[in-house]
Amino acid sequence: MTEVSSIKRSRIILALDLTHKSNLHSALTTISLLEGCICAIKLNFHLILPLSGSELSEVNRLVHSYGLQSIADIKLNDIPSTNKIAISHLLHMGFDAITVNPFIGEAGLRAVVGQAHGLKGGIIALVYMSHVGARLGFGINFLASNNQVTSLYQKFFQDAMACRVDGVIVGANRLKILKEISLKKDGIPIYSPGLGTQGGNIKKAAISGADYFIIGRSIIDSKDPLKTAKSLQHQIELTTTPNRINNAD
């Protein structure tokens, strides 16, 4: 992702969550229109469910022809045998990485990371999502085995670090948590959704530690998606990173 981002001069991951036109033609057209302004696409169930396996492979071939990366955002969270099948199918369809929910535990997370890496794929772990109800799950406190009170997201991050995932997801609208995680990430990139529609601000998120910006509706639902994507790309490019933690609001 670092290499692609450098070549494309973009840290935008397009959340291709098409709602009104969830078909192959719309997906391919949107990617072709915006490929110069992004470094990757993220497919959620908006397209993974309506498209066939061969159609998803076609989407990923187009993505790769533009030198982009492709993420399957399924938030995988199941028993080991099911996780194994899901990862195998998705990576063979051409996805480069898969999002995983650390509720599967450290052993489960380690297994999916090992499998994905063996197939030349990556795993991106959820640490704190951007939606309104995230604090009711990721923000819950519990008594850990060392008798210390900790938050679920802190445990998820610890497991992600221990298993050497390829990235973690922290909402761009969770600035305090974003800053906290960025201070401890040890080279693991932070992917941040929740910009625009969910209230996240690019500059504040960048200053707080976001490395890649997952943006969907702000681009796709705009009157001129290409113009909007270029504007957002420029905003991110202008954002400086030195001393970003100390300068955050």
Active site residues: 75
Phi and psi of 14, rounded to 5°?
-80, 115
The DSSP call for residue 189 is: -
At 198, list the tokens.
């969910």
- Please, which residues have CB within 8 angstroms of residue 102's CB and are 6 or more apart in sequence? 109, 125, 126, 127, 155, 156, 159, 160
Q: How many CA atoms lie within 13 A of 203 on its CB side?
A: 7
**Three-state secondary structure call for residue 211:** coil
Q: Whole-angstrom Cα distance, residue 158 to residue 138? A: 13
Q: Whole-angstrom Cα distance, residue 48 to residue 53? A: 8
At 210, list the tokens.
């976001």
